[in-house]
Amino acid sequence: MKRLSYSDRIMVVSIYVFLILLSFSALYPFWNGLVVSFNEGIDTSKGGVTFWPRAFTLDNYKVVFSDDNLMNAFFISVSRTVIGTVAAVFMTALLAYGLGKSYLMGRKFFTVFFVFTMYFGGGLVPTFLLINSLGLNNKFLVFIIPGLISVWNMIVFRTFFKSLPAGLEESAQIDGCGNWGTFLKIVLPLSGPIIATLGLFTAVAHWNDWFVPTIYINNENLMPVQTILRRILNSNLIQEAGNLSPETLERIAKKSLTSKALINATIMVVTLPIMLVYPFVQKYFVKGVLVGSLKE
Amino acid sequence: MPPQQGMVSKKGFFRRLFKQLDIQLMVWPGVLLVFVFSYIPMYGVLTAFMDYDVFTGSRIFENPWVGFKHFEAFFDAPAFDSIMRNTLVVSLLKFIIGFPAPIILALMLNEVRHMMFKRIVQTITYLPHFMSWVIVGGLVMSLLSTENGSVNILLENVGAINEPINFLSMKEYFWAILVSTNVWKEIGFSSIVYLAAIAAVDPHMYEAADIDGASKFKQIYLITIPTIMPVITIFMILAMGNFLNAGFEDILILAQNPALRPVSDVIDTYVYRVGLQNAKYSYAVAVGLFKAVVSVGLLTIANYLARRSGTSLW
């Protein structure tokens, strides 16, 4: 490689400096949150805790993990994410496989039927009234059913299925597989990368959602952890949040715990699952994003 | 070959349908779900022209028609001016700063020759995209807080301020905080598409330009950007269609303080407040419909302009 000119070298160096600064700014808020979550709450409020814990403690996490209401919320979040993701990915893939068959009667109509919803929708209030009149409010199913089909993911799946060699399906059919058998035994097992990608996106959407429970759920026992966290952040007086166990509220009142310490420990616990999974799926999803952006 | 469903032709419609019943059964659950959860709400939009009464439930045609009453009420509402201003200003800021940022990041990442470094930067900058607005809001509040917030500590240490500033309760800072948080969250993830477009550039073009003595800056300006222009145009058209979506989750999370409402309230947060919190359903549907119509108009205009320059969505 030939040597870079003087001005090119300045440019390359400034690009590296900028990228380092950008990465720092993306990582630092998480790092600082982690540090505060491991620092004693009262000590943090004196200020100056930035890069390292000053008074290291595990107490904040002990409180989070012993608060029954928070643990119940984690359980709701996890169940919702697992059930919602498996069901949505399966239903969307099934639809995509069916729509991909050129001999499907009504195929053109179905395609327009689905794609139209990407550009037009009823909006928040009509959807809210619909969910209520269906009686889905205050039910766990409100987390699962309305999100079963994603048209965007359906298109990504269909594009992926098209790239599978046609001979595979033919030979499965010769061996006596029907369409369902081909789908379940041949197509799904070969779709690992795309299932990982869309599964991650769907799971993240379920895990991160706080708005659906805010508007449809009144039952405290069905609140996922993001909604509870939002309420804690929201209330100036943490006692008003009403989503923490009495023991935790008492500890905050007695100042053996601060709300900031609790919030940061909760944030870390909520963030950890995504941080652990996502780097492994990254190599797949870059491709998934690209397939998704090439619409037909 | 086994009897393939598609091969059976010239038989009765129902006979053909029955022959491919297995594949039809794969499609029908999806059709039903989308019909219920996407098409029925579209029909619910009609309530914008009625006085909707909760007790009529699904029998919406029992509500009295009132024409454009709710639209007129919105245009005359005292909050109308500030809502429209906030929507336009926030959208414009997000567009001017948020649209080019991932393109610039992609161009920079493309110049990085150390693959390991490149991958680390990508992994880190994609990460915030996967966090909920609740988490991001919590982190932002933590960073900006007057009690051990890193930003205030930094500003105090460099001597820029004497007293910690309560950033999240002051109107002056809200737009800046909102827009920079959005850019911070999405810059990495949005750059993926542009990186892929850049990867498609023929490397020979750079070699030729190198031999001709073009500087790196010139190569970016004269080769990379023109090559990825179609991708940029498509995303710009899509951004135009989203123009009135100034923000929803981010504003609900970051604008906790009611004192911020004069600068933070946009169409979507207004619809949420009057529609779901104050239960003025028909009025809120009318406001939402107004937004949807303007958005489709903007999308059409943008697409028309883009088609004249050679790229378009349809």
Chains A, B: CB contacts within 8 A come to 260
Task: Check residue A256 and report its DSSP letter.
Answer: S
A-chain residue closest to B279, CA distance: A125
Residue of B131, B133, B158, B257 to mutate for A, most A C-beta atoms under 10 A? B131
Where do runs of H (alpha helix) occur along A4-106?
6-37, 41-44, 59-66, 68-99
**Rounded alpha-carbon distances, angstroms, from residue B10 to A139, A211, B13, B14, B184:** 48, 52, 9, 11, 59
Give residues 184 to 213 of B whose Cβ lies within 8 Å of A.
184, 187-188, 192-193, 196, 210
Give residues 215 to 254 of B whose Cβ lies within 8 Å of A.
215-217, 249, 252-253
Q: Which of A83-97, A260-274, B240-254, B267-281 has the highest mean pLDDT?
A: A83-97
Average confidence score pLDDT of chain A: 88
Chain B nearest C-alpha distance from A133 (Å): 6
Q: Which residue has the tokens 């948080």?
A: B181
Tens of pLDDT, residue by residue over B48-101, are: 898 887 776 667 777 888 889 999 999 999 999 999 999 999 999 999 999 999
**Strand ranges (E), A207-260:** none
A-chain residue closest to B113, CA distance: A12
Q: What span, in angstroms and rounded, lies between the C-alpha atoms of B46 and B121?
A: 49
CB contact under 8 A, B1 and A7: no
Q: Please report the ipTM that was assigned to this predicted complex.
A: 0.90
Instruction: Give me the mean pLDDT over the A287-295 stretch.
Output: 65
Q: Which residue has the tokens 């029992």?
A: B62
Choice among A148-152, A166-170, B93-97, B284-288 with the minimum mean pLDDT: A166-170
Tens of pLDDT, residue by residue over A2-46, are: 567 888 889 999 999 999 999 999 999 999 999 999 998 888 888
* Chain B residue numbers touching A98 (CB-CB < 8 A): 23-24, 26-27, 30
What's the pTM?
A: 0.89
Kindly tell me if the per-residue pLDDT of B194 is higher than 60. yes
Q: What span, in angstroms and rounded, lies between the C-alpha atoms of B49 and B60?
A: 11
Instruction: Give me the mean pLDDT over the B33-45 stretch.
Output: 93
Choice among A66-70, A283-287, B82-86, B181-185 with the minimum mean pLDDT: A283-287
* Chain B residue numbers touching A210 (CB-CB < 8 A): 132-134
Give residues 295 to 314 of B whose Cβ lies within 8 Å of A.
296
Closest CA to A23 of B108, B46, B155, B212: B108
Tens of pLDDT, residue by residue over A65-122, are: 988 889 999 999 999 999 999 999 999 999 999 999 888 899 999 999 999 898 788 8
Q: What span, in angstroms and rounded, lies between the C-alpha atoms of B262 and B82?
A: 7
Residue type, A128: F
* Chain B residue numbers touching A12 (CB-CB < 8 A): 111, 216
How crowded is the C-beta side of A266, counted as CA atoms within 13 Å?
33
Contact A167, A182 (CB under 8 A): no
Residue type, B50: M
pLDDT at A94: 96
Q: Which residue has the tokens 């929507």?
A: B87
pLDDT at B54: 74
Does B148 contact chain A (CB < 8 Å)? yes
pLDDT at B4: 52
Residue of B23, B234, B252 to mutate for A, most A C-beta atoms under 10 A? B23
CB contact under 8 A, A125 and B281: yes
Residue of A21, A125, A282 to mutate for B, most B C-beta atoms under 10 A? A125
Confidence label for A295 from pLDDT (cuts 50, 70 and 90): very low
pLDDT at A292: 60
CB contact under 8 A, B292 and A123: yes
Does B39 contact chain A (CB < 8 Å)? yes
Return all residues near B180 (Cβ < 8 A) that are at least 6 apart.
Answer: none
Confidence label for B312 from pLDDT (cuts 50, 70 and 90): low
Return all residues near B212 (Cβ < 8 A) that are at least 6 apart.
Answer: none
Q: What span, in angstroms and rounded, lies between the C-alpha atoms of A151 and A116?
A: 10
Task: List, as one string, the DSSP characters of A277-291.
Answer: HHHHHHHHHHHHHHH
Q: Which residues of B254-273 are buried (b: 16+ CB within 10 A; e: fewer)?
A: bbbeeebbebbbbbbbbbbb
Q: What span, in angstroms and rounded, lies between the C-alpha atoms of A44 and B289?
A: 48
Q: What span, in angstroms and rounded, lies between the C-alpha atoms of A29 and A264?
A: 11
CB contact under 8 A, A282 and B126: yes
pLDDT at B66: 86
CB contact under 8 A, B284 and A125: yes
Average confidence score pLDDT of chain B: 88
| Nearest by CB: A126 against B45, B148, B216 | B45
Confidence label for A260 from pLDDT (cuts 50, 70 and 90): confident
pLDDT at B314: 62
Confidence label for B303 from pLDDT (cuts 50, 70 and 90): confident
Tens of pLDDT, residue by residue over B119-140, are: 999 999 999 999 999 999 999 9
Confidence label for A296 from pLDDT (cuts 50, 70 and 90): very low
Task: List, as one string, the DSSP characters of chain B.
Answer: ----GGG--SS-HHHHHHHTHHHHHHHHHHHHHHIIIIIHHHHHGGGGGB---GGGTT-GGGSPB-TTHHHHHHHHSTTHHHHHHHHHHHHHHHHHHHTHHHHHHHHHHHH---HHHHHHHHHHHHGGGGS-HHHHHHHHHHHH-TTT-HHHHHHHHTTS-SS---GGG-HHHHHHHHHHHHHHHHHHHHHHHHHHHHHTS-HHHHHHHHHTT--HHHHIIIIIHHHHHHHHHHHHHHHHHTTT---SHHHHHH--SGGGHHHH--HHHHHIIIIIIS--HHHHHHHHHHHHHHHHHHHHHHHHHHHHTT----
Return all residues near B35 (Cβ < 8 A) that are at least 6 apart.
Answer: none
Closest CA to A153 of A109, A205, A224: A205
First vs last Cα of chain A: how many Å apart? 41
Instruction: Give me the mean pLDDT over the A228-234 stretch.
Output: 86
Contact B249, B268 (CB under 8 A): no
Tens of pLDDT, residue by residue over A134-161, are: 999 999 999 999 999 999 999 999 988 9
Instruction: Give me the mean pLDDT over the B150-156 stretch.
Output: 90
CB contact under 8 A, A267 and B138: yes
Return all residues near A113 (Cβ < 8 A) that are at least 6 apart.
Answer: B31, B34
Three-state DSSP at A56 gives strand
Cα B149 from chain centre: 29
Contact A251, A170 (CB under 8 A): no
Which DSSP helix (H) or strand (E) runs through A273? helix A259-293
CB contact under 8 A, A32 and B188: no
pLDDT at B242: 81
* Chain B residue numbers touching A48 (CB-CB < 8 A): 148, 153
* Chain A residue numbers touching B268 (CB-CB < 8 A): 124
Chain A nearest C-alpha distance from B231 (Å): 10
Q: Which residue has the tokens 């359906």?
A: A154
Confidence label for B267 from pLDDT (cuts 50, 70 and 90): very high
Does B147 contact chain A (CB < 8 Å)? yes
More reliable by pLDDT, B145 or B187: B187
Q: What span, in angstroms and rounded, lies between the C-alpha atoms of B43 and A121?
A: 9
Chain A nearest C-alpha distance from B110 (Å): 10
pLDDT at A32: 93
Contact B188, B127 (CB under 8 A): yes
Return all residues near B90 (Cβ < 8 A) that are at least 6 apart.
Answer: B175, B178, B179, B246, B247, B251, B266
